[in-house]
A and B are shown apart, each in its own frame.
Chain A
Amino acid sequence: KAGVTQTPRYLIKTRGQQVTLSCSPISGHRSVSWYQQTPGQGLQFLFEYFSETQRNKGNFPGRFSGRQFSNSRSEMNVSTLELGDSALYLCASSLHGSGEQYFGPGTRLTVT
């Protein structure tokens, strides 16, 4: 079974721009979660989508948003990028929304 895939793997953007990241979960998995990882803050939960509905949201500003499609693929969007948004963005999928999650390789976003 193919694992979680994320595209693109690397991205460089300029302050003020917006960015969209994509995540394809493991086939059959209905829950997709997003995390941000930085050296200073570590791994932080952004939000979770289950059956196209946002079920949980972490403590991030409204510039961070996401959505999930009927095929369970998910996208996250960051608007008005700031330097502090430079991070590794990780996507994880799970079958029923349990604690056993499968992570993708991440998208490395650099904001200049």
Chain B
Amino acid sequence: DAKTTQPNSMESNEEEPVHLPCNHSTISGTDYIHWYRQLPSQGPEYVIHGLTSNVNNRMASLAIAEDRKSSTLILHRATLRDAAVYYCILRQANQAGTALIFGKGTTLSVSS
């Protein structure tokens, strides 16, 4: 499985944009990039995923580098509720089954 590298922690102020980076230099052409987050005392929550093009949804935006060796999860206006551990995960498009390989993730702190 291709691996991802994320910073251990990041800090942000409320109502400011947050850019969470993820490096995946060994990504293959069929790997989707998934982002999940885990709020304190809760199970992980799906955030967004993409393959090649940038993606937007109500929660966040995913910017994927042209060579796909890195991606950035963008929270447009951080709120206190966005404080969580954010996981960047690669998953093969033709993978049979749902197994997600979680790394250590990035712990995002948000201050008011």
Per the bound structure, the CA–CA distance linking A49 and B97 in Å amounts to 8
Interface residue SS majority, chain A = strand
CB distance from B67 to the nearest CB of A (A): 22
Residues 13 to 46 of chain B near chain A (Cβ within 8 Å): 32, 34, 42-46
Number of interface residues of A (CB under 8 A): 26
Contact in complex: B34, A56 (CB < 8 Å): no
Contact in complex: B43, A104 (CB < 8 Å): yes
**A102 partner residues in chain B, CB cutoff 8 A:** 46
Per the bound structure, the CA–CA distance linking A92 and B45 in Å amounts to 10
Q: State which size class the interface on B falls in.
A: 20 to 34
CB distance from A52 to the nearest CB of B (A): 14
Contact in complex: B97, A48 (CB < 8 Å): yes
Interface residue SS majority, chain B = loop
Pick the contact of B98: A4, A98, A104, A105 (CB < 8 A). Answer: A98
Per the bound structure, the CA–CA distance linking A101 and B49 in Å amounts to 11
Residues 35 to 51 of chain A near chain B (Cβ within 8 Å): 35, 42-45, 48, 50
Contact in complex: B46, A100 (CB < 8 Å): yes
Whether a CB of chain A sits under 8 angstroms from the CB of B3 is no
Known: A58-B99, A90-B43. 4 other contacts (CB 8 A): A56-B99, A92-B98, A99-B32, A106-B43
18 contacts between A and B (CB under 8 A): A31-B98, A33-B100, A42-B102, A42-B104, A43-B44, A43-B102, A48-B98, A56-B96, A56-B97, A58-B99, A97-B96, A97-B97, A97-B98, A99-B32, A99-B95, A100-B46, A101-B46, A105-B42
